[in-house]
Structure 1
């Protein structure tokens, strides 16, 4: 009995260290993994249709997680409500966000334009957070969010890729934006801490259950199995499907949802830089100034004067 306070202090210290890492190293790692997903996914879509590509990706993710479950034996959700919450988040992220993003890229939208549209998420979160999760969004944060939006748009304009797109691809991208915004608000209000292995397994299973039948019904499911496709799938399964999504949900639970969402303002410029390395797309000098505006806006939006 005398050791209980010491054990409790150890647990509190461990929790505090985890929260500190999620607010420092977590955002940087998430940004790199998430931003690289745009050019890498576009590369993979040259070898398979979008829903087929996603179904394969989800199936591989489920296979990896089942193997991890066999070794780790993680704790499963304790009640039907927890299962339902995981399923809803899985649908919003895997089916709506990833599914509609891949369909949009296949339909012809530029990767940088897609990155910009889905990175409007902080604006939606800033508008909806007070109603859904009770967060107040002050003037300072609104100014930071608007600066971030202007800077992100400036990067795209400087690259000369922001031009009129067909309505269909743009609507698909907006649907993806709604999906990821809904997932963050839902997770913040109703989500509960779950083992990341089991939560990811449930969510990718939901993605596979929805995407595989639609691929069989509406697509030619031929796949060109090349080393490039295999490398692309490996990255998307490990980097995007397992690590990045787990980080996103963990950071959402650890901090204010509007602050976590403002990370997405970094995505368009980061995706533009990574597209240079993966796709050979050149970033003009003027875009670096716009990127500085975006970074400044995010810093203003996420700065906590109490710390």
Structure 2
């Protein structure tokens, strides 16, 4: 196992957790799909520049198609659905709970791509979900969450689950620079017209938006997505998706440090349960080898 293999999961969790912090910074100053369009364009320019400078290999036409399909799910539909749902009134805690059903769906569907989920891992998936509920329970207001925003968040959950499994099955190996050019071009091609049709395309360029955009492009998307793709390439999709369970815990700690949000004993207990659940999913028995 390389150094990158060891540091990728905790680094990915930290980076992914900052997404909620970025959303909190940008939300008052930018329409969601408009912000995401700028974000996709920024990543596209960055990765294209890196790919051309390094003369990186480009995927075949067939692989480009597969990467574009996966990118639409992982980027355009997932992020767009969550951001618009929260903007339309879905509580962030409810959105986090729905999105964190992903490891359950991935574990259930993993046999479709040839992965076996052991009983110990199923226990870990269940514990992880229970821990997430404990962490964000005080933020849940499910009674006011029905309607289009809830449907958008469910759509986002299905999109990232389907996109992750699709990529693992049909395009597991590709250059991260050229592959992301394809994926973000596809995401931008869908998101930008939707922003133009449904939003005033308002974005106020101030310090908060500038920091949120720079972090989104350089760290969240370019760094976080690259790490996720690396983990998918070298690990089992069930284990990779289970790391998502830790994101609400890390986000809660960040919100406590940065914004003074409450972090009670129940949330701390939930973090412990979640950590145990993820350990049961990702830990290998001595006789197991990497996929």
Q: Distance in 2 between matches of 1:191 and 1:278?
A: 39
Q: Which runs of 4+ in 1 moved over 6 A?
A: none
> What TM-score, normalized to structure 2?
0.93
Q: Report the RMSD for the aligned CA atoms in angstroms.
A: 1.5
Work out whether 1:96 is the aligned partner of 2:96: no
Work out whether 1:73 is the aligned partner of 2:55: yes
Q: Map Cα deviations across residues 120-156 of structure 1 (whole Å, 9 max, x no partner).
A: 11100111111x2111112111111101111110111
Q: Distance in 1 between matches of 2:173 and 2:224?
A: 16
Question: What does 1:280-299 align with in structure 2 at a 5 Å threshold?
Answer: 280-299=260-279
Q: Distance in 2 between matches of 1:305 and 1:70?
A: 42
> What TM-score, normalized to structure 1?
0.89
Question: What does 1:45-60 align with in structure 2 at a 5 Å threshold?
Answer: 45-60=27-42
Show the counterpart of 1:124. 105
Pick from 82, 92, 109: which aligns with 2:63? Answer: 82
Work out whether 1:142 is the aligned partner of 2:122: yes
Show the counterpart of 1:5. none
Pick from 260, 285, 291: which aligns with 1:305? Answer: 285
8 Å CA contact 1:187, 1:249 repeated in 2: no
Between Structure 1 and Structure 2, how many residues are aligned?
A: 286
Work out whether 1:21 is the aligned partner of 2:1: no
Work out whether 1:161 is the aligned partner of 2:140: yes
Shift of 1:182: 0.8
Show the counterpart of 2:155. 175
Gaps of 5+ in 2: none
8 Å CA contact 1:112, 1:271 repeated in 2: no
Q: Distance in 1 between matches of 2:141 and 2:281?
A: 25
Q: Distance in 2 between matches of 1:279 and 1:183?
A: 33
Mark the CA change 1:109 to 1:279 in structure 2 (over 3 Å): closer, same or farther. farther
Show the counterpart of 1:9. none
8 Å CA contact 1:40, 1:278 repeated in 2: no
8 Å CA contact 2:129, 2:245 repeated in 1: yes
Mark the CA change 1:275 to 1:110 in structure 2 (over 3 Å): closer, same or farther. farther
- Name which of structure 1's ranges 233-242 and 62-71 shifts more when overlaid on structure 2: 62-71
Shift of 1:233: 0.4
Q: Map Cα deviations across residues 70-126 of structure 1 (whole Å, 9 max, x no partner).
A: 32221111x211111111111111111111111111112222322221111110011
Q: Distance in 1 between matches of 2:197 and 2:13?
A: 35
Structure number with larger C-alpha Rg: 1
Shift of 1:160: 4.2
Work out whether 1:234 is the aligned partner of 2:214: yes
8 Å CA contact 2:92, 2:139 repeated in 1: no
Gaps of 5+ in 1: 1-15
- Name which of structure 1's ranges 85-94 and 267-276 shifts more when overlaid on structure 2: 267-276
Shift of 1:162: 4.2
